[in-house]
Amino acid sequence: MRIRRLDKETRADLLENLLKRSPGNYRQYEKTVAEILERVRTEKDAALFEYTARFDGAEIHEGNIRVTEDEKKEAYEAAGEELVRIIRRALANIRSYHEKQRQYSWFDSKPDGTLLGQKVTPLRRVGVYVPGGKAAYPSSVLMNIAPAKAAGVDEIIMVTPPDRDGKINPHTLVAACEAGADVIYKVGGAQAVGALAYGTESIPKVDKIVGPGNIYVALAKRAVYGHVSIDAIAGPSEILVIADETANPRYVAADLLSQAEHDELASAILVTTSEELAKEVSKQTDLFLQELSRADIIRKSLDNYGYILIADTMEDAVDTANEIASEHLEIMTKDPYDIMTRIRNAGAIFLGEYASEPLGDYFAGPNHVLPTNGTAKFFSPLSVDDFIKKSSMIGYSKEGLRKVHEDIEAFAEAEHLTAHANSIKVRFE
């Protein structure tokens, strides 16, 4: 991995380079996505089936688009008892964590008859997109469905692309069944997003679409936002490690590579105050690359977006981490909890040498659907909050309104909204 001294110029170049990975920089795909969405909106199932045949090579029709109970049983047999057991253990942790995020309605009443409050309501129907293609990620199925279930969503619809035989990856299917998906459809890509957003003869319209996907899926979600809600536009995976001289270089190298193997656009960055650690981590990455199965992808990722930055002080390291606002942030220092208190921007924070990023991906419980491309400055991980909506509650008695009606009328008059003022006045004629 390349080693650089951290300074203002290096930081500026790094940020500019990382931002090139944003889905907003892939405008050349927008026209294709718009055409797909328009055809699905107008032609519905007919367009859905045609695109599935073209892009996935599967003959899907109204009779087989929905996953059957027999297909679910086959998936459990193919997955095996051991994987099912692991999925259930991970799901228990994920459920427990997200159940603590539940919010409840509240009301505040006063003796004069004034009542204010907030009504919390789960979304009625949510669509969960699950990628297929090169790899299947049952962990993402759990992470997207579990918070929706904890929130109390009435109906969870999952879509995922089939293989050429019209089958769904058995691990994905088992995870969906365990997590509580109500209906599963064999369709993927931008066409699946369109089906969830507009509805077709086979797939009902949803209120919100969540879940990661390729650039076509990301652009499709952005295009339908406003017609339905979405979680976020996911970018390539990324990790940033803050480490000092006490860190284990082998652990650091292994964790950096765990994200670099996702794809060529993934980012892996180490910021350290130790030049010796920097050199040793670079050596360890080379050693790991000799034995890892996705070495070619990792090399391209590190060549494009892999950095080891040597900072003069830990304050400089923390400032850089806050500026990058990484999806995953690991802190491997003598006192990681002290550093954590100074972190303002990160999707998920991992503390100490035994809290490696894959722990969060699979098992710990917090959601692994995290803000990317610097959006951790203003976005949060997927949570129960994403599957509820809130309504304000206002109730006043005549006595309560009498105390404030003149102020309201004056305010309305100041804005030249006389009908507003009149609406209050008529109650005291």
For the annotated catalytic residues, the residue numbers are 327-328
Separation of alpha carbons 40 and 48, rounded Å:
6
Separation of alpha carbons 311 and 328, rounded Å:
19
Show the beta-strand stretches assigned E in 123-217.
125-129, 155-160, 183-186, 208-210
Residue 47: what residue type? A
Residue 65: what residue type? I
- Cβ distance 149 to 156 under 8 Å? yes
Show the beta-strand stretches assigned E in 161-316.
183-186, 208-210, 229-230, 238-243, 267-272, 306-310
- For 5, phi and psi rounded to 5 degrees? -75, 130
Distance of CA 391 to the CA centre of its chain: 25
Q: How far apart are the first and last CA of the chain?
A: 79
Q: Please list the residues that pair with 332 across neighbouring strands.
A: 243
Separation of alpha carbons 147 and 384, rounded Å:
5
Residue 51: enclosing H or E segment and its boundaries? helix 45-56
Residue 126 corresponds to which tokens in the numbers above? 């949510």
Residue 119: enclosing H or E segment and its boundaries? strand 115-122
Name, in order, each residue with C-beta under 8 angstroms of 418's C-beta and a sequence gap of 6 or more: 412
Kindly give the pairing relationship between strand 328-332 and strand 348-351. parallel
- Compute the half-sphere exposure of residue 388: CA atoms within 13 Å on the CB side of its CA: 19
> In Å, how far are 104, 152, 273, 381 from 385, measured between CA atoms?
11, 11, 38, 10
- Cβ distance 332 to 353 under 8 Å? yes
Name, in order, each residue with C-beta under 8 angstroms of 124's C-beta and a sequence gap of 6 or more: 153, 154, 155, 207
- Cβ distance 336 to 247 under 8 Å? no
> In Å, how far are 90, 285, 304 from 282, measured between CA atoms?
33, 5, 15
Kindly give the pairing relationship between strand 208-210 and strand 125-129. parallel
Three-class DSSP category at 390: strand
